[in-house]
Amino acid sequence: MAEETIFSKIIRKEIPADVVYQDDLVTAFRDINPRAPSHILIVPNVLIPTINDVTEADEAALGRMVTVAKKLAAEEGIADDGYRLIMNCNTHGGQEVYHIHMHLVGGKPLGPMLLG
């Protein structure tokens, strides 16, 4: 069993976060260290440590992450100009929290790559 993360506590509302969307499969909240005017994290409500740990049983949640990203991009007013969806995997991929998450980033020109 994977270790619980800060995202698990946000999902359960045990610690404060600016939650912008939540349903039975995913939760989305604003990044506390935004890299762009709009920077939202979208996470599955079940703990999946890395993309390498995804199974076929997780397909509904991962699909929901994308449809929620589309919905939130429209609500944020960044859909027409464009945005970026980023998922990092393990150390070399830049993953910092081992609970998979998708970054929805936009609101300014992002250039060819977004590096931190």
Q: What is the pLDDT of residues 75-111, one digit of tens each?
A: 999 999 999 999 999 999 999 999 999 999 999 999 8
Q: What is the mean pLDDT of the chain?
A: 94
Report all structural domains of the chain as residue ranges with CATH numbers, in order of start.
6-106 (3.30.428.10)
pLDDT band at 3 (very low <50, low <70, confident <90, very high): confident
Between vectors from CA 71 to CA 25 and to CA 8, what angle results, nearest 5°? 30
Q: Which of 39, 92, 99, 101 is catalytic?
A: 101
CB 114 within 8 A of CB 84: yes
- As given in the structure block, the two tokens for residue 78 are 């960044």
Q: Is 45 exposed, middle or buried (0-12, 13-18, 19+ CB in 10 A)?
A: middle
- pTM metric for this prediction: 0.93
Residue 112 to residue 47: CA distance in whole angstroms: 31
Cβ within 8 Å of residue 75, ≥6 positions away: 20
Between vectors from CA 88 to CA 55 and to CA 110, what angle results, nearest 5°? 135
- Return the amino acid letter for 11: I
- Do strands 38-44 and 19-22 pair parallel, antiparallel, or not at all (unpaired)? unpaired
The answer to whether 99 is a known catalytic residue is no
pLDDT at 115: 53
